[in-house]
Amino acid sequence: MQLYNNLSAKERAELIEKAGKERLTISFYKYAKIGNTQLFRNHMFLAWDDLDVLGRIYVAHEGINAQLSVPADNFDAFKTHLDTITFLENVRLNIAIEHDNYAFLKLKVKVRDKIVADGLNDNTFDVTDKGVHVEAEKFNELIEDPNTVLVDMRNHYESEIGHFKNAITPDVDTFRESLDLIEEDLREHKEDKKLVMYCTGGIRCEKASAYYKHKGFKQVYQLEGGIINYVRQVEEKGLENKFIGKNFVFDQRRSERISDDVIAQCHQCGEPADMHTNCANEACHLLFIQCDACKEKMENCCSTTCMEINRLPQEEQKALRKGQGNSNDIFKKGRADHLPFKKDLRNIFETIGKKS
């Protein structure tokens, strides 16, 4: 019984190319109480491996978080399987605006402590006691209300390339940093302000909405299905699009363009740009924004040092990496000191003060 992926990314890519069939990029999540997480994980892997599903899936006692690539021909069978699982019946599936047959090249189903890392040790709040979910039309109305505080629950490198107009975009590297920061900053407005949140697909907002309700906020809302679902509803219903720029996604595509606005800049030359890339030097692999001109000039690297290393024969590069971990810069997500046009740090306290 095969319970783990046994093909390399290259081998999988070759199979996808040979098959020549369209694949759909899909994401979904569900907070639920799962008892035997390992048994559930194995069941999902076996069922999805048979359907040629690829992706990154996290299973925990609090639920499931999945980002997948499914052959279009197998979509109905995939949906049928989900519906056989009680808590996943009719679960919302966020289907990507743009598809890429190579978005995922392996099937990874992992058991984790939580499906969203939050750094919380507070077991007294119920993650299923969530805020009010609103669709795109209601969301547009809410964010025009002067008594609304709109908060982007994503990280700085996501909101840097695209966000909703007038949204507060916390300068944080992780979701866990946002929770206490926002709670502290809006402490005086728990009664009188409407706290409206959004994220990529809704999973972070749902946990945050339960947390903030637990902390005493009286009016908590979240965008149903996140940015992905919002864009689909805007197009289907002919609504005004209030999102500017691109939506960061966690697969090989890295982003989906929502509007023609380019609101970010190349971290190396400062020219308008909003395409993230990973430094080609495997010992660095820093995620940063790079324009086409710098990409060619710097050979897809973030610095001249990395460029020189990347030019070495693979065996020499491996020898240099031996016994070494990735550079600490990898965790800075575009804010490494050697990038002259990295995103400036902003003060969330000042930003919220202007909205209050």
- When comparing pLDDT for 108 and 123, which is higher? 108
Query: Is the confidence at residue 276, as pLDDT, over 80?
Result: yes
- When comparing pLDDT for 252 and 236, which is higher? 236
Confidence label for 338 from pLDDT (cuts 50, 70 and 90): confident
User: Which residue from 104, 12, 10 is spatially nearest to 57, judged by alpha carbons?
Assistant: 104
CATH level 2 (architecture), domain 132-237+345-355: 3-Layer(aba) Sandwich (3.40)
Q: What is the pLDDT of residue 124?
A: 75
Query: Is the confidence at residue 274, as pLDDT, over 50?
Result: yes
Mark residue 34 as left, alpha or beta (left: phi above 0; alpha: psi -120 to 50; beta: remaining).
beta
Is residue 289 within 8 Å of residue 160, measured between CB atoms? yes
Query: Is the confidence at residue 233, as pLDDT, over 90?
Result: yes
Q: Return the domain boundaries, the chain.
A: 9-111, 132-237+345-355, 276-332
* Residue that the structure tokens 């990029």 belong to: 25
- The pLDDT tens digits for 249-271 are 877 778 889 999 999 999 999 99
Long-range contacts of 139-146 (CB under 8 A, 24+ apart): 139/196, 139/198, 139/221, 139/223, 139/224, 139/230, 140/239, 140/240, 140/242, 142/194, 142/196, 142/221, 143/167, 143/196, 143/242, 145/194
Catalytic residue among 199, 205, 302, 306: 199
Encoded tokens for 335: 């804010």
Query: How many Å separate Cα 217 from the centre of its chain?
Result: 25
Is residue 194 within 8 Å of residue 142, measured between CB atoms? yes
Q: In CATH, what class is 9-111? A: alpha beta
Residue 148, phi then psi, degrees to nearest 5:
-100, 140
Q: What is the pLDDT of residue 251?
A: 75
The Cα-based distances of 104 to 114, 250, 252 in angstroms read 22, 10, 7
Which of 103-107, 237-241, 323-327 is predicted most confidently?
Answer: 237-241
Query: Is the confidence at residue 328, as pLDDT, over 70?
Result: no
Encoded tokens for 219: 């009016």
> Largest alpha-carbon pair distance within the chain?
62
The Cα-based distances of 259 to 92, 123, 169, 251, 256 in angstroms read 24, 40, 18, 20, 9
Query: Is the confidence at residue 356, as pLDDT, over 50?
Result: no
Whole-angstrom Cα distance, residue 263 to residue 247?
Answer: 12
Query: Is the confidence at residue 355, as pLDDT, over 50?
Result: no
- The pLDDT tens digits for 53-64 are 999 999 999 899
Whole-angstrom Cα distance, residue 282 to residue 278?
Answer: 9
- When comparing pLDDT for 291 and 345, which is higher? 291
Whole-angstrom Cα distance, residue 271 to residue 267?
Answer: 8
User: Which residue from 64, 61, 73, 72 is spatially nearest to 27, judged by alpha carbons?
Assistant: 64
Residues of the chain with pLDDT > 90, as a percent, come to 65
27 half-sphere exposure, CB direction, 13 A CA radius? 22
Q: What is the pLDDT of residue 197?
A: 96
- The pLDDT tens digits for 49-90 are 999 999 999 999 989 999 999 999 999 999 999 999 999 999
Q: What is the pLDDT of residue 325?
A: 63
Residues of the chain with pLDDT > 70, as a percent, come to 94
Q: What is the pLDDT of residue 38?
A: 96
Mean residue pLDDT across the chain: 89
Is 199 noted as a catalytic residue in this protein?
Answer: yes
Q: What is the pLDDT of residue 348?
A: 47
Q: How many other CB atoms are found less than 10 A from the CB of residue 199?
A: 26
- The pLDDT tens digits for 172-200 are 888 888 888 888 888 899 999 999 999 99
